[in-house]
Every structure is written in structure tokens, then in C-alpha cells.
Amino acid sequence: MRVWLCLCVSVLFTASALAHPHVWVDSQYRVQVDQSSIETLEATWSLDLFTSTSLIAEYDVDGDGDLAGQEKLDMIEVLKSFQQYGFFIKMKQDGADIVPSDVQVLDVRVRDQMLWIRLGIALPAPVNLEASTLSFAFGDDELYFAMEPLEEGLVRLSGSLSETCTPVEREAEETSVAMWVDLTCKP
């Protein structure tokens, strides 16, 4: 099954001369701020209808329009192949690139015929949002995925201290990135 995704990715993306996206992903970071320092956060992806339909048709073995049991486990296993691309996560702390210490596929669901993926992200070290700026983006430099922010924004905050935090959008200099969001919190 993993071979199917690799084959699909290869077929869709071998035409490197075509510089437009082949897969659209609505993406968002979810940050729970219950203390000034964070160590983990989550991200969600919603794949476009064409890609979702293709993957659901392949992995929804019983044809019920949902992924459950082994179907879900098989899909999660396939999605792990994006580890080699860092799950398209781009982060900076005070302008310096940081790489998550771990990214896990926490869940995959079908919602409104779209494939929704939830990722768990562990930061390489705790980041104090009162003393540092944590910047977020998604971007694909290789596979022609368009990583677009959800309509409600690239970053969604929750938690008891979220009211003290300010996410600020800024334009990206990289062509593979739609936008950056800089996050800081007041002491």
C-alpha cells in the first residue's frame, strides 16, 4: 500500500517542469498555551477532494466511506512516508530555523469526503513564548504540494494563556510558503 502512495506521488510529480501544485492541502497549527513555555503542538491537514477521493478509494477496503481499524492503521503507515520531507513543517525561533524532534501522525479521518490528518509535533527544546518569537509556516520544496492556511488562519490558539498571545501574519520570501505567522505572548 505504501508503494501505491509512492507510485502516485511519482506519477503526479515527475513533471518537474510544471511548477504548479498537484495536491492542495489546507493546513493549520494548533497551539495550546497553558503556560508561557511550550514543548508540543499539533497540526491539521485537509487534503483536496481529488487526492482524498483517490486515497479513500484505495484504503477504505469495506467501502463505507470511513477509515477504521486496519484501514486507518494502513493509511497512517502510508502517511509516515512524509517524514522524509519533514511533513512540510517550517519553524523558526527568533529567526533561526528549528526542526521538530518528532512528528507523529496522531489520527486520520474522513470528513465531508475529505481526508483530514492530525499531526503531533514535539519541539527540539521548550520555547518560552514570552521571551522568544516562534514562527510557523508549511512549505513543500519538492513534491508540488500547495500548503495553504485554513480560512480561519494558519495558527489557532487555545489554553488559559492564549488571550495573552498575538499571532502576526507576514509574507513569505520563499516561493513554496504561502505565509508565515510569528507568535509571541505578553508576560
What are 35-69's pLDDT values in tens digits? 999 999 999 999 999 999 999 999 999 999 999 99
CB atoms within 10 A of CB 53: 14
Whether 21 shows a pLDDT value over 70: the answer reads: no
Place of cell 511550550: 38
Distance (Å, rounded) from C-alpha 116 to C-alpha 33?
23
> Directed axis angle between helix 2-13 and helix 70-79, to 10°?
40
**Tens digits of per-residue pLDDT, 86-117?**
999 999 999 999 999 999 999 999 999 999 99
Query: Domain containing 133: what range?
Result: 2-185
pLDDT tens figures, 113-151:
999 999 999 999 999 999 999 999 999 988 889 999 999
- Model pTM greater than 0.85? yes
Nearest to 179 by CA among 27, 58, 13: 27
Buried b (16+ CB within 10 A) or exposed e, 140-174: beebbbbbbbeeeebbbbeeebeebbebeeeeeee
Number of domains in the chain: 1
